[in-house]
Structure formats: C-alpha cells, structure tokens
Amino acid sequence: MPVRALVWGENVHEHTNEIVRGVYPDGMHEAIATGLRGDPGILAETATLQEPEHGLTEARLAATDVLLWWGHAAHSQVADEVVERVANHVHQGMGLIVLHSGHFSKIFRRLMGTPCSLKWREAGERERLWVVNPNHPIVQGIGDRLDLPNEEMYGEPFAIPEPMETVFMSWFEGGEVFRSGATWQRGGGRIFYFRPGHETYPTYHNQQVRTVLRNAVKWAHNPAPRWKLVEEAPNVPVESAPEKLETKGPRLHHAGQAGYR
Amino acid sequence: MPVRALVWGENVHEHTNEIVRGVYPDGMHEAIATGLRGDPGILAETATLQEPEHGLTEARLAATDVLLWWGHAAHSQVADEVVERVANHVHQGMGLIVLHSGHFSKIFRRLMGTPCSLKWREAGERERLWVVNPNHPIVQGIGDRLDLPNEEMYGEPFAIPEPMETVFMSWFEGGEVFRSGATWQRGGGRIFYFRPGHETYPTYHNQQVRTVLRNAVKWAHNPAPRWKLVEEAPNVPVESAPEKLETKGPRLHHAGQAGYR
Amino acid sequence: MPVRALVWGENVHEHTNEIVRGVYPDGMHEAIATGLRGDPGILAETATLQEPEHGLTEARLAATDVLLWWGHAAHSQVADEVVERVANHVHQGMGLIVLHSGHFSKIFRRLMGTPCSLKWREAGERERLWVVNPNHPIVQGIGDRLDLPNEEMYGEPFAIPEPMETVFMSWFEGGEVFRSGATWQRGGGRIFYFRPGHETYPTYHNQQVRTVLRNAVKWAHNPAPRWKLVEEAPNVPVESAPEKLETKGPRLHHAGQAGYR
Amino acid sequence: MPVRALVWGENVHEHTNEIVRGVYPDGMHEAIATGLRGDPGILAETATLQEPEHGLTEARLAATDVLLWWGHAAHSQVADEVVERVANHVHQGMGLIVLHSGHFSKIFRRLMGTPCSLKWREAGERERLWVVNPNHPIVQGIGDRLDLPNEEMYGEPFAIPEPMETVFMSWFEGGEVFRSGATWQRGGGRIFYFRPGHETYPTYHNQQVRTVLRNAVKWAHNPAPRWKLVEEAPNVPVESAPEKLETKGPRLHHAGQAGYR
C-alpha cells in the first residue's frame, strides 16, 4: 500500500510574483508533489491555504501518512484551530516534513516549542548541503553532498531543540553554516526539517532535492495505528492497579472523577 | 550574588480544600519558597495566579533567574499572553522548573510541543524516585533514592520529547513507572520537570525534595546575559556577508526589507 | 528479501547447568532464533562462542543485517579481534540487539563507551515492562505493557549514554526500576538493548518477548549499503576542494601523504 | 577553590618539526595551559606522553577536575592501560576536553564508541566557527563567531554519536562544514570536543580560542564527588530489597555470589 503524502502549499507568491510564477507555473505544491510521484510507493496529493479549512480537515488528515509543509508570506493566515489539528495528528503518528521558510510556520513553532529563528540573506548564492550520516534513509542516492547554484542563505543560530539526528549541514558562499536537515520525534510522529526551497529558485525541480523528499516521506511514515489517546490523561482506578493496592491518605478527587486540565 | 528564584503558585486549592489548607496553611508556593530559602545562595520570592498579570510582568521576569511553576486546577485561567511572555524569557535564558501537575500547564506544553499527557491515580501510594545519574548536580545530597510514603501516581507513557537527561525514575506501589525528573534545553533556557508534589500530601515539606529543588534552581540558572534576539530573524545584507559576495539571480525582497513571519 | 538475522549465543550455561538446560534444551540462541522465525520476513541463523572465530567471520557478518547478542558467564572469552570486527560492522550499518546480561558484553561496552553497570538481584520476582512510546515500531502488538512472572532484577543507575529513544521502562516487585528498552545510533548502525532474558526463566518462550524481538530486528535493519569508509579519514587534496582554493601558510604533510592515526 | 585543569600534550612535533617549534617554542601544552591561566579560577598544569605513565598516574588523575587532550602523531604510543584509567576517571566525573587531532586519540574513540573519522585538508584556509547557542556557557565572551585566518580543514561526516549539544559549527574556505564544538555526557563526566588547533598555526595563541578553552574547563568541571562505583554491578540481596520480597523460582547464583563480568 503506498504511503499517502499530502503536500500543503501556501500558494501565494505563485499568484502575486512574476518570478515565482515563472519558476512554478503550477504552484510550488504541485512541483513538490510531482517530485514525490516519481516513486510508485508514494501517493501524493496537494492542499492549499485557500481551500476551506486550508484543505486540512479532520478526514483529510486522518487519511494522510505524511504531511509536507511549505509556507512563507502567509503564516499568520493559517487558522490556529487547523494548526492544533495538525499538531494532534503528528502527536498521534502522522509524519511531518517542514520545508524552508516553513521554519517560521505556526505548526513548526508549535511542535518545536522554540522560536525557530535564524539569519537570512537573499543573494542567490551557492549552497552546499553535506551529508552527516551517509547511512541515514533520508540521504540514500544523494552521494556525499547536494550542491545548489542559487539559494537563499539561512544562518545559525537556528533556535530549535537539539535534533534527534542531524542529517544535513549547509555551507553558504557568503560564509555562513546551517543545520539544513534535522529530525525530531514528537509523540508518535516523526518530523524532518529540510532547508532548501526559496521560491525564486528552481530548487524543487532539482533531482537530488526530489530524492531527499521521497526518502523523507518514506522515513517519516509510521505504519503503526494512530495513538488516539495521546492527548488523554486516563485515571487508573485503585481496583485496576497492576499491583493490589489500598487507598491511603486524603484525596482530592472522587472515584471516577476526571483530572484537571 | 544569589540566584533569584520566583515560585509561581496557582493558589486555588489552598483556599477551597480543607485538606490542602491543612497541609499548606501559607500556600504551596510559600512552602516551596521556604525550602529554597534554606540555601543562602538563593533569593526566593513568590507570585500567584490572582495577582495582576499573575505576578509575572515583564519587569518581574526580567529580574528572575529561575521560575518554578506549580498549577493544577486552573491551568486554563492563565492568560495566553503571560504564557508567551514566560516562554520568551525561557528562550532568552531564564531557567524553568515545572512541578507535578504542572505537566499540563500551558507553559510546559508550550515549551515541549507535545501533549505532556500521562496516567494517574490518587491513592496515596508509595513512590520511590531512583537516581539515574549519581553525579548530576540536581541529585547531590540525595543518596541513591528518594522515598515518599504517600503520593499520587503518574504512569507512562508520558508524552514528552525525549529528555536531554533523565535524572530520576519513579517506582509506584501500584505497579507503574514514570520519568519523574528530566531536563531539556530550549533556546537559552534550561528546563527541569520534577514529578512529586500532589497537594494533599506534605511533599514540599520533605527535606530531600527541598534539596532537589535547591539543586535544580542552581542547575537551571544561566548566568549569561539574556538572548534578546532569540525571536528575531535578522537579515544579513550582501555587503555584510562574512565572505565577499555578489547577488545573483532573482530576488523576492528589496534590500533592507524585513522577512515574512 | 527477508532480513538476515544472526543470533549469537554464549552457549555455556545450557551445558553446565541443569536448570538452564531444562528451560532451553536446544540452547538459548535456538529459542531466540525460533521466535524470530515466526515472521516470514526474517531469516534467522545462529552462531556460538565455541565456533571458530565465535562464528562471526568477516564473511558471516557481511551477510548479516541484524546481529542479536546473548552472553553472560563468558564475556571475557570473546576475542578482542572479533569484538572489533563486530563493532566495525555496526558502524558500517549492521543492526545490533543486545540482550539482558549482554549489558556487560565487550561489544556493548565497546559501542557505548561507558561501563554499562547496574544493580541486580536474582529472586524470580515480577517484572513489568511499560511501553513509553506506543507508536514505536518495536512495541507494535504488545499493548501497553509486558508482564513477566519471574525475572532477575536490574536496577538503575544503568551507566549508559542517554538513549536516542527510551522504549521500555521496567517496574520490579522488589522496588527498583530500569530503562529496559533503549535505542542508540552509532555510525550507520542502529542498536537496541532489551533487558529481559535471565537464563533460568523461560523468557524467550514468551510470546510478547518474541514479538518485541521480531519488531526490533526489523527496526534495526538498515537496507542502505554498508558505510565502507566509516573508519577512514580521507585527505581532500587542495585541487579537489569544492571551492577554488590556494594553499596558504606552513604545512606538516606532503601532498598525498596519509594522516596520522 | 580553583578548578584543577591538566593539559596533556603529545609533545612530539614541537621537537621534530621546525615550524611547530617556531609557533610553540615551549610546547603546545604550555601554550594551552598559559591560556587557561588567564583565569584566576583555573589552576593549570601539564603532562606529556614522555613522562612515566604519560604523566597520568592514578594520583594525578584523582587530583584533576578537567583533563585537556592534544595528540596527533603518537596516538598509538599511548598505553592502553592509561587510556582505561582516564576513561574510568571520566566515568567517575572528571571533565575531558579533546582538541583538534585528538579526534583520533584512543581516549576519545574509547569514550565515543565510534570511529571519530572525518575528511581533512591542510591548506591553511580560513575557518569560521559559528556559535549555535549564544547562551551556552562555553561561548560566553565570543560574540557570534570565531574567525581563524589559517587552519586545517576537517569535513563531515564526523563519525561521532549525536552530541548532547552542538555548540559550534565550522565553515571552511574550501567548501566544507564541520561540527567543531560538541558536548557529551558519559557516566558522571562531561566531554567537550573543540576542533581548531593544527600545530603549524598559532591557534592556541588566539584570544577567542583561549576564552573558549577557559569557559570549557569551567563547564566540564563536575564538583560532585567522584562516582566511585561506576564500574561496579552490586548485588542487592533479597533481604535488602526496598520492598519485602521472597525468592521464587530457580537461581543461578548462590546468595552473596558475585555476578559474571
């Protein structure tokens, strides 16, 4: 059964900026999805900001194994309610791949718990992404590095929690460095951040970038059933304790009462 | 110069529940602060939910090295604006110690990015906290374990990000286990979660618990200046790049324009 | 193509101790391998201490995806040369599952870099392994816990590096706790330590234990080609630098000279 | 009481190579120690390969809070017995700072459990170390980066376990990147690896480098008493179990018998 990937695109600059429209005439989300479709094991669909509920209804997320997120100019237009819904699905086990300027998206900041800030410069400079662990599933087929002739620069400090795995590190022509591929586990969900993808450059047409994204979708896919109770704090009644137990001391709650939240 | 600790207490059950009032007649926050004051290197003050801005104004936080947080019944009454303010100070370098039912506080969930859910049972059972790293600063003076005759049970799974360090693990009489002492780094701030402290038991009068809290305050104190720019994403103009650089390719932003957020 | 698992058994107590022989008449390694064979996607073979090179020749390891290791009384009889060979294969990408008393094996200590010490008691007490992340591939099919009526106790502090993921935590009848399932990445290799398996109890006949081991083999399997150069420190000649470069300043090495080790 | 730092130098190239002698006429270890002595809170001494037991006797290590290690050409001449002794002290709580080519020292590889391999080039190129966490104790006083006009290049992949904290990342003129400052906890000991310091360049005379090393000594210092039992696996007799317990089932060991190692 193929992995069900959903590519979410902000879909703004493609309509307001000539350069971006020229590079991505069908939208960035379509270019990203097209790259994923190069793998018959991936079923890639798209959703955009402009759809009702941004195309991220409960039903849609429930049918998604891995969500990819590209946003930049309209982070603040994403409804908080949708952000919480996506976060809940990640906690339950849905994979999430956050792309480039998505570092400042509500969903990434929500899941990291940190500002996710960085330095930046838009000068079309060379970026070279070095592979840090050649055996990691995400870098298979890449070789030891990935060179991009023109990209926006992102520089450290990148205010993220220490990653579970550092997968790529970038060198920039102008002199900066960046952790450009990193993973985290949050609840049942695997998260991968991948740096490249400024909208004025044809990064998502690059074959190595497409290979990384296909690998990442497969890596982030958790085939286990969703962890439905990840938000719950169930009471274990005394009579259900694994060991025989008698209540001692004073209590705040009545038997069967829900806990505070 | 002493470490400036601020003990934040929800201060609700002390006024509405006879049992809690009996155990903590001056409030739980006062009992916690009294324990901290046993160390002349710590200057401990208190703040409560009921004060304007919950006692957590910008000025107060700016003068705080380490914030301790106890809440249970009134998590939802804490203003989102204050939560963001506290999160920002942690990112800038303020230490944070989250206590017991604070696992479900807005601030802990905000900084972890996960549900922070768990199992629970209020049966006054024995809890035994085992030291996982005997050389960790937080456990000095504790010996190999800390026994509490009556405590609420918290059981795994505890939906937190994998800790930087697991400091304590709890054994419960009824058969469960829990990661009851754990650390994280978020931006410039150090965070410690410490499990014990149900309001109907005299946990914060326990001398070993008080030793842990004093140690934790000193561990969480970051003497470096606050990381004021942790939320910022500064542009590095081409002419300020560390290496000589010429702009290539198309641009989205005008020189000097701020980035999107 | 099935995952090629190799179960290494010390194979000593099965021949010298009546109790162990009674529980594992064909050897513990055979019982473990039989459990793995319950999954048609796993091809399980065995090797023992007594074979030439302990059954772990270069060719054998090169044809192994995941190695499982059970040893206890004869850790010191394992040849250092074989330990280095196994370590090298793990660094290149072979998975390794270390079982129970294997915590003190040369190979586990070699890969952890720490003493891997712990407390212990042989009293046939109850052990309850709690699942810490219900969505982790290793715990699928287990439910929320795994109860063993009789096991040896291992207690914290367990002197290991902080795990990449804490998968199981044990509760013991006598009052201790232990991180009984934990993962690490070392070079290209994934490592899983799984605590239960004292030789006088029928632990490896337990169906839940067998499920964990099958899951763990699949989790530890890295399908990427081996990282052959993981031990190498290749020189990058100036003329092969990614960026045009001229040598400046004094040099220690002649061009083309190997580095020191 | 000052922190007792011991700077260990291989002390070979200073006597066999004119360039190195010119840069470090008193030996690299003396230059490093001189830098540390700029802080009155640090008491810095030196030891070298050529001394009996390489100057690292049990008594010397017992009186050392933090050991700094520089070696390159003579890693193989360091006695295995001394390496084990140093490793044991780190596990007990002694801090360790490994410098530059020390990445291939026996002690670093012993404690990491991985090959610690990397790419390299000796071309005197520019290195720029970027600060990843501006609030980390090790980077105080450095600003946002540290520029070195001439250094050897080290490139990823650096075959180390994922660090506890990534402190510095390097940009090299020739196009590579490297995790040039990273921390680990092993047993009671804190470990810091710091990349710069090729012997033909005056790196240890650089004021920013000296600041980093002073900060690192203070960070690595663990004031807790040494964890004497870190190598031990003590038996907990049934009658000493925290919970009342009766032995059940068959046993391998007699009461009071030591475990196998």
CATH at B18: 3.40.50.880
Q: What is the pLDDT of residue A255?
A: 73
Is residue D254 scored above 80 in pLDDT?
no
What is the pLDDT of chain B when averaged over all its residues? 96
Q: How far apart are CA C118 and CA C121, in angstroms?
A: 10
Query: In this complex, which chains have at least 3 CB pairs below 8 Å with chain B?
Result: A, C, D
Tell me the Ramachandran region of residue A257: left when phi exceeds 0, alpha when psi lies from -120 to 50, beta otherwise: beta
In a domain, A249, yes or no: no
Cβ proximity of B200 and B23 under 8 Å: yes
Cα-based angle C183, C179, B203 (whole degrees, multiple of 5): 135
CB-based contact, D119 to chain C, within 8 Å: yes
Query: Is D257 contained in some domain?
Result: no
Smallest Cβ–Cβ distance between B104 and the set A104, A248, A261 belongs to: A261
B188: in domain: yes
> Which chain B residues are Cβ-neighbours of D136 within 8 angstroms?
188, 224
C245 CB neighbour count, 10 Å cutoff: 22
D47-60 confidence digits (pLDDT tens): 999 999 999 999 99
User: Among all residues of chain A, which has the CA nearest to that of C224?
Assistant: A135
Amino acid at A33: A
HSE of A128, CA atoms in CB hemisphere, 13 A? 22
CB < 8 Å to A187, chain C? 133, 135
What's the pTM?
0.97
Cβ of residue D230 closer than 8 Å to a chain C Cβ: yes
Contact D133 B185 (CB under 8 A): yes
Residue D253 binned pLDDT confidence (cut-offs 50, 70, 90):
confident
Q: What is the pLDDT of residue D1?
A: 86
Residue pair D195/D120 in contact by the 8 Å Cβ criterion:
no
Q: CB-based contact (8 Å) between C175 and chain B?
A: yes
Chain B, chain D: beta-carbon pairs less than 8 Å apart = 52
Domain assignment present for residue D205? The answer is yes
Q: D223, exposed or middle or buried, with CB in 10 Å at 0-12, 13-18, 19+?
A: exposed
* Strands (DSSP E) found in D3-118: 3-9, 42-48, 66-70, 95-99
Q: Is B242 within 8 Å of D147 when comparing Cβ atoms?
A: yes
How does A44-74 read in b/e, with b if 16+ C-beta sit within 10 Å?
bbbbbbeeeebbbeeebbeebbbbbbbbbbe
pLDDT digits (tens, 9 = 90+) for D21-31: 999 999 999 99
Residues facing residue C181 across a β-bridge = C168, C194
Interchain contact C166–B (C-beta under 8 A): yes
Distance between CA atoms of residues D132 and A176, nearest Å: 12
CA dihedral sign of residues D98, D104, D110, D114 = positive
Whether pLDDT at D255 is above 80? no
Work out how many domains chain C is built from and give that number: 1
Residue C26, C-beta contacts closer than 8 angstroms, at least 6 positions apart: none
Please report, in angstroms and rounded to a whole number, the separation of the first and last CA atoms in chain A.
39
Task: Name the residue facing B188 among D128, D134, D145 (closest C-beta).
Answer: D134
Whether the pLDDT of residue B242 is over 90: the answer is yes
C-alpha to C-alpha distances, C22 to B158, C236, D108, nearest whole angstrom: 40, 59, 45
Residue A58: its pLDDT value, please?
A: 98
pLDDT of residue B260: 84
Quickly state the pLDDT bin for B261 (edges 50, 70, 90): confident
Average pLDDT over residues D203-224: 98
Set of chain B residues whose Cβ sits within 8 Å of the Cβ of D242: 128, 145, 147, 171
Do the Cβ atoms of C135 and A222 come within 8 Å?
A: yes
Looking at the predicted structure, is the pLDDT value of residue A104 above 80? yes
pLDDT, tens digit, for every residue of B156-192?
999 999 999 999 999 999 999 999 999 999 999 999 9
Q: In D29-99, at which residue ranges do the beta strands (DSSP E only) sit?
A: 42-48, 66-70, 95-99
pLDDT in tens, D78-123: 999 999 999 999 999 999 999 999 999 999 999 999 999 999 999 9
Strand order in the sheet with C165-172: C42-48, C3-9, C66-70, C95-99, C189-194, C177-186, C165-172, C119-131, C145-155
Q: What is the mean pLDDT of residues A40-44?
A: 98
- The overall longest dimension of chain A from CA atoms, in Å, is 72
Alpha-carbon gap, residue B204 to A143, rounded angstroms: 56
Does residue D35 belong to any structural domain of this protein?
yes
Residues of chain D contacting residue C87, judged by C-beta atoms under 8 Å apart = 113
Distance CA C43, CA C237 (A): 44
Reference A83, options A67, A99, A65; nearest CA is A67
Residue of B nearest to C178 (CA): B169
Mean pLDDT for back-to-back runs of 10 residues, chain C (261 residues):
96 94 97 97 98 98 98 97 98 98 98 98 97 96 97 98 98 98 98 97 98 98 95 94 92 80 79
pLDDT above 70 covers a percentage of chain B that reads 100
**pLDDT of the residue at B83:** 98
Number of neighbours of residue C253 by Cβ within 10 angstroms:
15
Distance from the A156 Cα atom to the nearest Cα atom in chain B, whole angstroms: 10
- Listed in sequence order, the DSSP H helices in C65-179 are 80-92, 106-112
Q: Which chains would you list as touching C if contact means 3+ CB atom pairs under 8 Å?
A: A, B, D
Q: With CA atoms as reference, report the closest residue to A56 among A29, A36, A38, A32.
A: A29
Mutate which: C156, C168, C178, C179, vs B, most B CBs within 10 A: C156
Q: Which domain holds residue A216?
A: 3-113+182-220
> Which of D252, D260, D239, D193 minimizes the C-alpha distance to D220?
D193
Asked if residue C243 is part of any domain, the answer here is no
Maximal C-alpha separation, chain B = 72
In degrees and rounded to multiples of 5, residue D23 shows phi and psi of -75, -35
Instruction: Taking residues B49-53, report their average pLDDT.
Output: 98
pLDDT score, position B137: 97
What's the confidence (pLDDT) of residue A126? 97
CB-based contacts of B61: which residues, under 8 Å, 6+ apart?
A: B6, B67, B85, B86, B89, B94
Asked if residue D189 belongs to a domain, the reply is yes
Q: What is the pLDDT of residues A129-157, one digit of tens each?
A: 999 999 999 999 999 999 999 999 999 99
Rg of chain A, C-alpha, whole Å:
21
In the prediction, which pLDDT does B256 show?
Answer: 72
Least confident of A72-81, B241-250, C196-205, D26-35: B241-250
**D231 interaction partners in chain C (CB closer than 8 Å):** 115, 117
Chain B residues closer than 8 Å to A76 by CB:
261
Q: Which amino acid is residue C47, in one-letter code?
A: A
Contact D130 A176 (CB under 8 A): yes
Residues from chain C contacting residue D246 (CB–CB below 8 Å): 123
B residues 31-70 lying closer than 8 A (beta carbon) to A: none
Average pLDDT along chain A: 96
> B165-172 and B119-131 as β-strands: parallel, antiparallel, unpaired?
antiparallel
Q: Mutation test of the interface with chain D: which of C18, C86, C198, C261, choosing the one with the most D Cβ atoms within 10 A?
A: C261
- Domain assignment present for residue D226? The answer is no
| Full 3-state SS string of chain A | CCEEEEEEECCCHHHHCHHHHHHCCCCHHHHHHHHHCCCCCEEEEEEECCCHHHHCCHHHHHCCCEEEEECCCCHHHCCHHHHHHHHHHHHHCCEEEEEHHHHHCHHHHHHHCCCCCCEEEEEEEEEEEEECCCCCHHHCCCCCEEEEEEEEEEECCCCCCCCCEEEEEEEECCCCEEEEEEEEEECCEEEEEECCCCCCCCHHHCHHHHHHHHHHHHHHCCCCCCCCCCCCCCECCHHHCCCCCCCCCCCCCCCCCCCCC
Record the tokens describing residue C183, joined without a space: 């993962």
Per-residue pLDDT reduced to its tens digit, C189-217:
999 999 999 999 999 999 999 999 999 99
Contact D241 C20 (CB under 8 A): no
Residue from A133, A135, A186 to probe the interface with C (highest C Cβ count within 10 Å): A135
Q: Which residue of chain B is at minimal alpha-carbon distance from C170?
A: B177
Looking at residue B235, the DSSP 8-state letter turns out to be B
CA–CA min distance C135, chain D (Å): 23
pLDDT bracket for residue A1 (50, 70, 90): confident
Is the pLDDT at D249 greater than 90, yes or no? no
B145 touches chain D (CB under 8 A): yes
Residues D216-248: pLDDT tens digits? 999 999 999 999 999 999 999 999 999 999 999
pLDDT band at A65 (very low <50, low <70, confident <90, very high): very high
